Chain A
Amino acid sequence: MSGEMANEIKLISGRSHPDLSDKIAKRLGVEVARTISLNYSNQETSFTVGESVRDEDVFIMQSTATGDVNEGLMELLIMISACRTASARRITAVIPNFPYARQDKKDKSRAPISARLVANMLQTAGANHIVTVDLHASQIQGFFSVPVDNLYAEPSFLRYINENFSPEDCVIVSPDAGGAKRATSIADHLNTAFALIHKERPRPNVVGRMVLVGNVEDKIAILVDDMADTCGTLVKAAAVLKENGAKSVLALVTHGILSGNAIETLNGSVLSALVVTNTVPLGDKVERCPKLRVIDISPTIAEAIRRTHNGESVSYLFTHAPV
């Protein structure tokens, strides 16, 4: 590859999660491209490009920081559009935590399907390919007419459980019916028992009554979910599990959004640990919450980028986590 300059991986990082970009760049053995994103005093976003992307394979890494989702999204769109005008050969948006993934259906009259809007916007801006991790609903892939690689944190979670516990002591618990598939998949791989908590949700960000289906007595209950936002669900679920005789309760969650009072809620809960991946920038939350553990997802993303660039299959990553 030494002689040929064109069509190499160009990794461009947005402002939301430079730490993850650096880790990915290190894995790939490339440098993060020289660009800067800034805001003008009138709050418009400016994106300055300091190196050529002509005919290169561009990967734009942008997660969405909690509280600043729209800011990150606009920045990503501007970056994509800038690379397209600069004649990049292919533009892949690497969005570990897909924004608006929960607004994926018209659940009320005149409710927006914002996930679809985001999908359309990304394609309008010029994205040719999307790489993301644990989409809230994999159907979101259908909103795109470009390829979407939905990576899974599951292999990393399996490794974490195997390294820290003996699977026969554990019960995998899904905190809601929607996540049952995700949880059963992990339970099947580990060959452990499975339980489910049924909940009623009267309003967004508010949790109603909960009922446990299954047996967790004298076991380590492991809650599995794709995102932990205000953590109301997780904490209530943990309390229900404890009431039903679980020895200890921990949670494995892909996206640690942890908005609002999540940290305080966690600190005051019966959860012994919340394990998240670093798809979402966590800031000082790790210091503020001793229960928070972080699994590095960058090897999976970096390998997906490498494979995508070289035209190799990505499906290996659905079952294996690179070390």
Chain B
Amino acid sequence: MVRNIVVLGGNSHPKLVESVCNALALPACARILTKFSSGESRCEIKDSVRGKDVYIIQTGFGGNGAKLNDHFMDLCIMISACKTGSARRVTAVLPLFPYSRQPDIPYNKAGAPLFKAPTDAGRKDYTFDSVPATPAPNVPKSAGLTNGADITNRLLKASQLNGDGPASPMVNGKPNGESYLANGSNGAASVRAHPGSYTTHDYENLSIVNAFEARPGYKQWVAQAGTLVANLLTCAGADHVITMDLHDPQVQGFFDVPVDNLYGRPLLKQYIQQHIPNYKDAVIISPDAGGAKRATAIADSMGVDFALIHKERRPTKITERQNASMMLVGNVADRVCILIDDIADTGNTITRAAKLLKKEGAAKIYALVTHGVFSGDAINRINASALDKLVVTNSVPQDDHKAKLGHKLVVLDIAPIFAEAIRRVHHGESISVLFNFD
């Protein structure tokens, strides 16, 4: 039993709130948190917070009957309500920090985005590795995989003749086909990008993006809301922020208040050691250069080999239009592969990586991801992918995902980590031990 502490939960992840409260052996603060019929949030805090140390748990995930922005506004309103209710200190606990990932929108040389109009509607027929190819000059629409003509090999040969093919030739057609840029919950057409384009964000309604034209001579850009979100939290009155595995650790610097960035790494490491047979012989892989640090940290601490997938964006000789290909740096043939990443949102990155690893001869592919958001087409993509096991934490609610992905998905519980962090922050103890426990 911890005294003088109040744990207040938002609507985004009631289960996590419950388990954190259980771990701390205290009841969650009674509150009313609904919406007026006009759409405005209604918040009333029932228990006194005067002089208390308040922790508000709200994850950056839309669901449970409200949208992501609703949850975020709820959080700000709760913070401000506690502040006006004379709370001593208010800590925002965001297991998944919203808007932490900056959009990754590809541009071609002319500066216009590489979007293309929808060509195939509502496809659900993802297969193991036949994520459809993008029509391009000299590439038939059903590239190789369904009709048996292996276009990849043909192109590989061509590139080798040219003398400078990429090391792992995910060339023409294949990798491009994997770039899905669309389809929201509204059931809009699933849309595919131009060759070479590749994005980590799906739009709910791509046709608007396609129709959009910037003023001539101006290169359009997408607003990045990370700093804004940080400022809004502090302006609402947050005195402290606790989060986990920030996509960009720099986000910590956006805040004027202390930010504790917890790591899911110890949990993932524990899973590897306990559930992956002969993990010492496995290879830890980062699916992109940005995550290399995260993956090497795990690989180093366990003394396991490391490999990296590199997304090449240069134009290749094969075709001018294709400017993204993936190559593997390292050897994975006949070995167990463990992909490490922080967020799986559209599922693009990990499924692409899995496909490449399979092609390179990996025996078994695990993916360990801290935040399993799985928006848009992600579930279908993952079900159809070469991944054998996908391990995520419950930083966002995973019940729906578990129901759809079945045994493929393993969910690790982060509630003990957050409960311990809250306990330590409350008592003014160091939390650095949480960064590195085994």
Across the interface, do A106 and B225 meet the contact criterion of CB distance under 8 Å? no
How far does the alpha carbon of A75 sit from the alpha carbon of B62 in the complex, in Å?
Answer: 15
Q: Could you tell me the distance between the alpha carbons of A81 and B227 in the complex, rounded to whole angstroms? A: 9
State whether B39 touches A50 (Cβ < 8 A). Answer: no
Contact with B along A116-127 (1 / 0, CB 8 A): 110011011100
A229 touches B (CB below 8 Å): yes
How many Å from the CB of A69 to the closest CB on chain B? 4
Within 8 A of A (CB), among B352-383: 373, 375-377
For B185, give the chain A residue with the smallest CB separation. A41
In the complex, B162 has a CB within 8 A of chain A = no
Contact A110/B223 with A50-B214, A121-B76 known, Cβ cut-off 8 Å: no
Cβ–Cβ < 8 Å partners of A106 in chain B:
84
**What DSSP secondary structure best describes chain B's contact surface?**
loop
Complex: how many Å from CA A33 to CA B434?
Answer: 49
Q: Which residues of B contact A6 (CB under 8 A)?
A: none
Smallest Cβ distance from A305 to chain B, in angstroms? 21
- Chain B residues with Cβ below 8 Å from A51 are 214-215, 218
CA gap between A116 and B77 in the complex, in Å: 10
**Contact of A114 (CB < 8 Å), options: B37, B61, B80:** B80
**Are the C-beta atoms of A38 and B203 separated by less than 8 Å?**
yes
Q: Which A residues touch B346, using CB under 8 A?
A: 41
Q: B290 on the interface (CB 8 Å rule)?
A: no
CB neighbours (8 Å) of A108 from chain B are: 44
Chain A residues contacting B43 (CB-CB under 8 Å) are 111-112, 114
Contacting pair A43 B62 (CB below 8 A) = yes
- Asked, given contacts A44-B98, A82-B223, whether A111 binds B44 with beta carbons under 8 Å apart, the answer is yes
Please name the residue on chain B nearest to A119 by beta carbon.
B235
Judged by a CB distance under 8 angstroms, whether A103 is at the interface is: yes
| Segment at the A interface, from B139-147, B204-212, B307-315, B318-326 | B204-212
Q: How far is the CA of A180 from the CA of B81 in the complex (A)?
A: 30
Asked if B402 is an interface residue, CB under 8 A from chain A, the answer is no
Q: Nearest CB to that of A69 among chain B residues? A: B39
A50 contacts which of B42, B201, B215, B375 (Cβ < 8 Å)?
Answer: B215
How many whole Å from A42's CB to the nearest CB in chain B? 4
Question: Are B40 and A81 neighbours in the complex by a CB distance under 8 Å?
Answer: no
A260–B408 alpha-carbon span in the complex (Å): 42
Which of A70, A108, A116, A117 has the largest count of B CB atoms less than 10 A from its CB?
A70
Do A38 and B208 touch (CB < 8 A)?
yes
Q: Which residue of chain B has the shortest Cβ distance to A31 in the bound complex? A: B215
CA distance A38 to B67 in the complex (A): 14
Contact of A78 with B209 at beta-carbon distance under 8 Å, contacts A41-B183, A42-B375, A121-B76 already known: no
Is B69 touching A74 in the complex (CB atoms < 8 A)? yes
A113 / chain B contacts, CB cutoff of 8 Å: 80, 84
CA distance in complex: A70, B72 (Å): 9
Residues of A near B377 (CB, < 8 A) are: 41
Residues in A whose Cβ lies below 8 Å from that of B208: 36, 38
Q: Is B38 interfacial (CB-CB < 8 Å)?
A: yes
User: A43–B345 contact, CB under 8 A?
Assistant: no
A34 touches B67 (CB 8 A): no
| A296 interfacial contact with B, CB 8 Å | no
Partner of A48, one of B48, B49, B84, B221: B221
The answer to the question of B164 belonging to the interface, with a C-beta cut-off of 8 Å to chain A, is no
CA distance A205 to B36 in the complex (A): 8
Size band of the B side of the interface?
A: 35 or more
Please judge, given known A-B contacts A44-B225, A71-B67, A117-B77, whether A110 and B235 are in contact too, CB under 8 Å: no
Contacts of B4 in A (CB 8 A): none
Query: A41-B185, A82-B223 are contacts. A48–B68 as well, Cβ < 8 Å?
Result: no
Q: Which B29-61 residues sit within 8 Å CB-CB of chain A?
A: 36-46, 48-49, 61
CB of B220 within 8 A of chain A?
yes
- Distance of A73 Cα from B297 Cα, bound (Å): 40
B49 surroundings in chain A (CB, below 8 A):
110
Indicate if B222 sits at the interface (CB-CB under 8 A): yes
What string of 1s and 0s marks CB contacts (under 8 Å) between A47-79 and chain B?
111111000000000001111111101110111
Q: Does A132 contact B (CB under 8 A)?
A: no
User: Is B37's CB under 8 angstroms from A230's CB?
Assistant: yes
- Chain A 177-231 interface residues, beta-carbon cutoff 8 Å to B: 204-205, 229-230
In the assembly, what is the distance between CA of A113 and CA of B214, in Å?
A: 40
Chain A contacts for B76, CB-based, 8 A: 117, 121
Smallest beta-carbon distance A98→chain B, Å: 11
In contact, B204 and A81 (Cβ under 8 angstroms): no
Within 8 A of A (CB), among B178-235: 183-185, 201-205, 208-209, 212-215, 218, 220-223, 225, 227-228, 231-232, 235
Is A45's CB within 8 Å of the partner chain B?
yes
What is the distance, in angstroms, from A151's C-beta to the closest C-beta of chain B? 21
Verify A112–B223 contact, CB threshold 8 A. Answer: no
Q: A49-B221, A110-B82, A117-B76 are in contact. Are A41 and B39 (CB under 8 A)?
A: no
**B298 → chain A, closest Cβ, in Å?**
25
Answer yes or no: B409 CB below 8 A from chain A CBs.
no
User: Looking at the complex, which one of A48, A102, A117 makes contact with B236 (CB distance below 8 Å)?
Assistant: A117
Distance of A76 from chain B, by nearest CB (Å): 11
CB pair B375 A43 closer than 8 Å: yes
Contact B203 A41 (CB under 8 A): yes
B212 and A121 within 8 A (CB): no
A70 to B184 CA separation, bound complex (whole angstroms): 20
A166 at the interface (CB under 8 A from B): no
Residues of A within 8 A of B69 (CB): 43, 45, 70-71, 73-75
CB distance from A45 to the nearest CB of B (A): 6
List residues of chain A with CB within 8 A of the CB of B99: 44
Report B99-124 CB contacts with A as 1/0, cut-off 8 Å.
10001000000000000000000000
Residue of A nearest to B42 (CB): A204
When distances are taken between beta carbons in the complex, the residues of chain B under 8 Å from A229 are: 36-38
Q: Is B78 an interface residue (CB 8 A)?
A: yes
Given contacts A43-B375, A99-B40, A110-B82, contact A124 B235 (CB under 8 A): yes
Tell which of A64, A66, A73 has the most Cβ of chain B within 10 Å. A73
In the assembly, what is the distance between CA of A204 and CA of B345, in Å? 39
Residues of B within 8 Å of A48, CB to CB, are: 209, 212, 220-223
Would you list the 6 A-B pairs with minimal beta carbon distance, nearest first?
A: A41-B376, A50-B214, A82-B223, A112-B81, A43-B62, A110-B85
26 inter-chain pairs at a CB distance below 8 angstroms, sorted by A residue, are: A34-B212, A34-B213, A34-B214, A36-B212, A40-B375, A41-B183, A41-B345, A42-B375, A44-B201, A44-B225, A48-B220, A50-B220, A69-B38, A70-B74, A71-B69, A74-B69, A79-B223, A81-B228, A82-B223, A85-B223, A112-B78, A121-B235, A121-B236, A123-B235, A259-B39, A260-B37
